[in-house]
Structure formats: C-alpha cells, structure tokens
Chains A and B, each alone.
Chain A
Amino acid sequence: MSADLSRLLNALGLVAIGTVLALAFVDQVWFRDLPCGQCILQRAGFFAAGFGIALNVIFGPKPSHYGIAILGAMAGGAISLYQTLMYIVPGTGSYGNAIFGLHLYTWAFFAFALTIIGCAIMMLDDRQFARTAPMSARLRVLPLSALLLFMALVVANIFSTVALCGGGLCPANPADYIMFAASPV
C-alpha cells in the first residue's frame, strides 16, 4: 500500500469517526437526548482516537500515529465499557435512547473496538511507512474535508460541553443546558 492510499484510507476513517460524532450531535440537538458526563468523555475518546488518524492524514502514515489512535480508542473503550457494565444487569436501568436495540455507549464500545482493529490491520502493511512525500494535489480534497469536519466537531464540542455543564463537572443525568437554564429568582 502506498503512502497516498494509506492517507486516503485514513481520511475515510476520519470521516467515519466524524460521522459518529455528528450523529451524537443530531441525537443531542434533534432528539433532546442530552449527554451525561461519561457520554461526553466517550466523545473525547473518539477525538483522542481520531487525533492519531488526523496526524496520519496531515504528516503521512507513521506507526506512532497509529499508536496514538489505538491508545485513544482504548481509553474511550474503557469508558464505554464501564458504562455498558453499569447497566448490563437487567433491571438496572439505562441511559438515553436505544438505537437499533443498543444504547449509544454500547455502540461506542463497538466503534472503539473497530477503530483498534482497523488500525491494527492498517499497520500490517509496512510499505506505507517507506515514504512521506507530500500528497499529490488531486488526492487532497477528501483528506482536507475530513480534517475540517473533525476540527469543526471538536470546536462544536467545546461550546456544547460548556453550555451543558458550565465550568464544572457534568451532572450524571442532565435535564437541561446549565448556561441556558433559567436562574432561580
């Protein structure tokens, strides 16, 4: 696999992670399914994992970038696994809406696992690490779009989290945005 092809595949991976994060926003804004503290940390986990993939897109594929993506996905996966185990016993409740029968934290765990598997598979081909020449101009549209989407989403998450939680920790079961809630008279 050439470095250019690897960059394109990494850009597709970044689009996939960006899509997951964008869908989380749709669920939050459209369906008023406000994220809990751990849900927000799982979003941060997607950014931690996507960061390594973004480095692959910007600087070219390197084993250290895949390592960053795998470590980020492991951290995010640990958080989603904890939340899944919290509610795994029937009758112990759940958090948020179920999508196709599974809650978002369970889907998040699968997505983190897929990220790790994807990175491991990508690392199997050593030829991509041989050359780090600048990417040819005709291949730049998708990587640039993926990067801009990823950057826009991280900025949007900063504002969303501040609006939801203010300057402190997020409530376990938020009812409204702290910044927009009517202050008691």
Chain B
Amino acid sequence: MMSLPFLFFACGLGAAWLSHRGVAMGFWFVGLVAMLVLFRVHVTEVLNIAL
C-alpha cells in the first residue's frame, strides 16, 4: 500500500514520456492524494509542543 504513490508517479512519468500530458497530471494528482491519505494514516499522535 505504501508503494502506491510511487506507482502512480511512475505511471504519470510513463504517460509524460509518451506525450500524454493530461494523463500524466491526472496520475500525479492521484499520487499526491494517496500520499496525503497515507500521511494521515501515519499520524497517530498529536504533537506535544506549544506554539
């Protein structure tokens, strides 16, 4: 599951290499969302700092 962002970015780079710019940007967006969702899952504790 953690390799999903890399997989989407790899697909996007492949699409860009084949000159499909829109598809590449779509893969980038999905990869970014997957990355942020995985980050949310990994954040298990509130930061113990005072700002």
Contact = CB atoms under 8 A, between A and B. Distances in A.
Contacts of B48: 89, 92
B44 to A, nearest CB: 8
Nearest to A50: B9
B32 A48 contact: yes
A43 to B, nearest CB: 8
- For the complex, would chain B's binding face be called helix, strand, loop or mixed by DSSP majority? helix
A58 B17 contact: yes
Nearest to B33: A75
Choose among A48, A71, A161 the residue with the greatest number of B CB atoms under 10 Å from its CB: A48
A41 B35 contact: yes
18 contacts: A41-B39, A47-B9, A48-B31, A51-B9, A51-B24, A54-B16, A58-B16, A58-B17, A75-B35, A85-B49, A88-B49, A92-B48, A147-B17, A154-B10, A155-B10, A157-B3, A158-B7, A162-B3
Interface of B: 1-3, 5-7, 9-10, 12-13, 16-17, 19, 21, 24-25, 28, 31-32, 35-36, 38-39, 41-45, 47-49
Interface of A: 37-38, 40-41, 43-45, 47-48, 51-52, 54-55, 58-59, 64, 68, 71-72, 75, 78-79, 82, 85-86, 88-89, 92, 147, 150-151, 154-155, 157-158, 161-162, 165, 167-170, 172
